[in-house]
Amino acid sequence: MSVYSRFARAASGMAMVAALSLSPGFARAIDFLDGDLQLHGFFSLTLVNTSDNNFFGQSDDQISSEYSEVGANASWRLTPDVQLSAQLLSHRAGGTDDGGVRLDYGLLDWTMASSEEGRSGARVGRIKTAYGLYNKTRDVPFTRPSIILPQSIYFDRTRNLTVSADGGEVYLERYYEAGSLSASLALGQPQTDTDAATVALVGLNPPGHLDAKLAPDFQVMYEGSGGRYRLGFTALHLDLRYKPGYADRLGAGRFKLTPLIFSAQYNAENWSLTSEYASRRISVKDFGPFFYNGDALGESYYLQATYRLAPKWEALLRYDVYYADKGDRNGQDFAAATGLPGFTRYAKDWTLGVRFDVTPQFMLRAEAHQVDGTGFLAVQDNPNAQDLRRYWDSFMLLGSFRF
Amino acid sequence: MEKLLTIKFVTWIGRALLLCLLAAALPAGKAQAQPAEPEMVAIAHPGTSEEAIPRATLRAIFGMLLQKWPNNTAVKVFVLRDDAPEHATFSKSVLQVFPHQLRMAWDRQVFSGQGQYPEQLASTQEILSRVASTPGAMGYVKASEVDHNVRVLQVR
Give one DSSP letter per residue of A142-199, joined into a string: GGSSSSS--TTTS-STTGGGTSEEEEEEEEEEEE-SSEEEEEEEEEEEE---SHHHHH
State residue A55's pLDDT score.
95
State residue A311's pLDDT score.
87
Of B21, B59, B67, the CB nearest to A315: B21
State residue A24's pLDDT score.
45
Nearest to A322 by CA among A346, A305, A344, A303: A346
| Closest residue on chain B to A121 (Cα) | B114
Rounded Cα distance between A86 and B51, Å, is 37
The reply to whether ipTM tops 0.95 is: no
Say yes or no to pLDDT of B1 above 60.
no
Nearest to A345 by CA among A282, A258, A263: A282
- Parent domain of B21: 1-33
CA distance B156 to chain A (A): 10
State residue A1's pLDDT score.
42
Contact A59, A52 (CB under 8 A): no
Contact A60, A53 (CB under 8 A): yes
| Closest residue on chain B to A129 (Cα) | B112
State residue B154's pLDDT score.
93
Same domain (yes/no): B28, B44:
no
State residue B24's pLDDT score.
52
Same domain (yes/no): B15, B49:
no
Quote the longest CA-to-CA distance of chain A. 65
Of A81, A137, A225, the CB nearest to B112: A137
Give the domain ranges of chain A.
100-402
* Interface A:B, Cβ pairs < 8 A: 170
CB contact under 8 A, A116 and B119: no
A100-402 topology per CATH? Porin (2.40.160)
Rounded Cα distance between B19 and B13, Å, is 10
B93 DSSP assignment: I
Same domain (yes/no): B151, B85:
yes
Same domain (yes/no): B25, B62:
no
CB contact under 8 A, A79 and B74: yes
Q: What pLDDT digit, counting tens, does each position of B66-88 carry? A: 999 888 889 999 999 999 999 99
Same domain (yes/no): B61, B138:
yes
Same domain (yes/no): B29, B45:
no
State residue B21's pLDDT score.
52
Of B9, B59, B114, the CB nearest to A3: B9
Mean pLDDT lowest among A391-395, B37-41, B114-118: B37-41
Number of domains chain B is built from: 2
Same domain (yes/no): B26, B61:
no
Stretches where chain A sits below pLDDT 50 are 1-3, 24-27
| Closest residue on chain A to B70 (Cα) | A115
Same domain (yes/no): B25, B52:
no
Same domain (yes/no): B44, B28:
no
Same domain (yes/no): B142, B88:
yes
Say yes or no to pLDDT of B10 above 70.
no
Q: What pLDDT digit, counting tens, does each position of A243-267 carry? A: 998 888 889 999 999 999 999 999 9
Rounded Cα distance between A324 and A15, Å, is 40
* Domain containing residue B106: CATH number: 3.40.190.10
Higher pLDDT pick, B62 / B20: B62
State residue B156's pLDDT score.
84
Of A2, A313, A366, the CB nearest to B13: A366
Contact A73, A58 (CB under 8 A): no
Nearest to A67 by CA among A141, A163, A129, A145: A141
Rounded Cα distance between A391 and A373, Å, is 6
Residues 6+ apart with CB under 8 A from A67: A45, A46, A47, A48, A56, A57, A92, A93, A94
First to last CA, chain B: 69
Residues of A in contact with B68 (CB under 8 A): 80-81, 114
Same domain (yes/no): B3, B79:
no
Same domain (yes/no): B99, B132:
yes
Q: How far is CA B2 from CA A48, A109, A395, in A?
A: 16, 53, 16
